[in-house]
Amino acid sequence: MPAMTLTEKILAKHSKSAVVEPGQNIWIDIDILMTHDVCGPGTIGVFKKNFGKDAKVWDPKKVVIIPDHYIFTADKMANRNIDVLREFASEQKLPYYYDVGTEKYKGVCHIALPEEGHTRPGEVLLGTDSHTCTAGAFGEFATGIGNTDAGFVMGTGNLWLKVPPTMRFVFDGNLPPYLMAKDLILAVIGDIGCDGATYKAMEFDGPGVFALNIEERMTLCNMVIEAGGKNGVIAPDKITLDFINAKNKHKVPFTPMYTDPGAKFAYEKVYDISKLQPVVAKPHSPDNKSFVSEVKGTKLDRAYIGSCTGGKMTDFRAAASIMHGHNVKIDTFVVPATTEVAKGLKTEKMHGKTLEQIFLDSGAKMGEASCAACLGGPSDTFGRLNQAIRCISTTNRNFPGRMGHKEAEVFLASPLTVAASAISGTITDPREYIA
């Protein structure tokens, strides 16, 4: 049998072919379909229109609905959309609906999925959100789709896909304490461009990747879409399996898969990460790369720490390690991705204080678990850029208008760089605060 990459092997296993090749169109079986409040109502509409008003989803245990985008808003239409999800979940008897205003409420779907045991190595996860690719960190094929595709999956459990060629990124060397996964992925996107991986899989490999914790691996895979990637993937190792086994409360069996020796890659690049510097993406594109040292001193109006890519415990530990004992000089918004992360901020301590207390004492504002201002949203969204101001953010996208105002400027950076910039009011290299 010809050697295949991890992505090809997962797709082959879920298709009717023993072997698949890049460029081939195949039909695959889907393990999990995820949707949320922004694309769920449209998806449900497509499903009902095409399968009938009384149709049932193909497997209620495989449809996961996680409202997270527009939650803490007075916007009536946004609240109406949650009602649509609630009604559908009840009518379809979906066991995995994480309703707003209940103890089950989670927050950002890409972080909630692994927390609740819906991600497993070797599986196929499709979601109506481009950052669904985050779950590639668990050694699975995960990608974003639209409402029509999701409506199709809801009724049938399968979908056609084109097998992507795989690009391989190898990280060698040790990650210095002033760098995070965000610096690595911003460097990659800057190097290949925000169309550099269009229609392709991005596999991350090398000792520098396997030294990262699971949350940092999620940050890498989360941002492959910013290079146009169809999916990002990291082979599962002991760190992955320990995490998955601890979360797999439904005891769903799974089969980890790995790239075959001799598999063909469409592109390979090796990075010595010990030599990299802190990186930012300047306005208005995630590939507009600079080293922090080249833009340091740039005046800022706001700092934002949150989202699926920058609102996890690892991100807040990093930010708190810098912000502890300092006051912020600009408006700083801290938004935990999920309610579980929010609990962690209230319990985990550093220098004798909870992380939340460190942020509050520094003068930062704390928001509730959700996508919040990462994608702008309704005008009353916490942290939204309602004016043409300049913000440094741990989020993943900075195209015009992404965080609200179309003339606002957004710099993307690691939580370390954002924290250092928040306490100095200008873009600041975290090395100034890390001994």
Q: Contact residues for another protein (CB under 8 A)?
A: 25, 38-39, 41-42, 44-46, 48-50, 69-70, 75, 77-78, 80-81, 84, 127-130, 132, 144-149, 152, 156, 160, 194-195, 198-199, 225, 228, 230, 285, 375-379, 397, 399-402, 404, 406-407
Q: Indicate the residue among 351 and 406 with the shorter CB distance to another protein.
A: 406
Query: How does 258-290 read in b/e, with b if 16+ C-beta sit within 10 Å?
Result: ebeeebebeeeeebebeebbbbbbbbbbbbbbb
Minimal distance, residue 188 CB to another protein, in Å: 16
Q: Indicate the residue among 55 and 434 with the shorter CB distance to another protein.
A: 55
Minimal distance, residue 51 CB to another protein, in Å: 9
CA–CA distance, 1 with 177 (Å, rounded to integer):
43
315's CB contacts (< 8 A; 6+ apart) are 180, 215, 219, 305, 394, 415
How is residue 60 written in tokens? 């209620």
Closest CA to 236 of 65, 9, 13: 9
In 3-state terms, what secondary structure has residue 35?
strand
Minimal distance, residue 254 CB to another protein, in Å: 25
Residue with the two structure tokens 């595709």: 149
Q: Indicate the residue among 190 and 278 with the shorter CB distance to another protein.
A: 190
CA–CA distance, 387 with 337 (Å, rounded to integer):
24
Number of residues in the chain: 435
Minimal distance, residue 7 CB to another protein, in Å: 14
Minimal distance, residue 351 CB to another protein, in Å: 37
Q: Indicate the residue among 34 and 355 with the shorter CB distance to another protein.
A: 34
Q: Indicate the residue among 236 and 367 with the shorter CB distance to another protein.
A: 367
Q: Indicate the residue among 91 and 242 with the shorter CB distance to another protein.
A: 91
- Helical packing angle, 147-156 and 40-51, nearest 10°: 50
Minimal distance, residue 162 CB to another protein, in Å: 9
Burial of 178 (0-12, 13-18, 19+ CB in 10 A): buried
Q: Indicate the residue among 62 and 69 with the shorter CB distance to another protein.
A: 69
CA–CA distance, 43 with 150 (Å, rounded to integer):
6
Minimal distance, residue 285 CB to another protein, in Å: 6
268's CB contacts (< 8 A; 6+ apart) are 167, 168, 169, 170
Q: Indicate the residue among 122 and 404 with the shorter CB distance to another protein.
A: 404
Minimal distance, residue 229 CB to another protein, in Å: 9
Q: Which spans in 15-133 are helix H? A: 40-51, 76-91, 109-115
Q: Indicate the residue among 121 and 151 with the shorter CB distance to another protein.
A: 151
Angle at 31 between CA 27 and CA 37, to 5 degrees: 105
Handedness of CA 42, 43, 44, 45 (dihedral sign): positive
Residue with the two structure tokens 């979940």: 89
Minimal distance, residue 156 CB to another protein, in Å: 7
Minimal distance, residue 164 CB to another protein, in Å: 9
Q: Indicate the residue among 210 and 399 with the shorter CB distance to another protein.
A: 399
In 3-state terms, what secondary structure has residue 154?
helix
Q: Which spans in 324-380 are helix H? A: 339-347, 355-362
DSSP structural state of residue 282: -
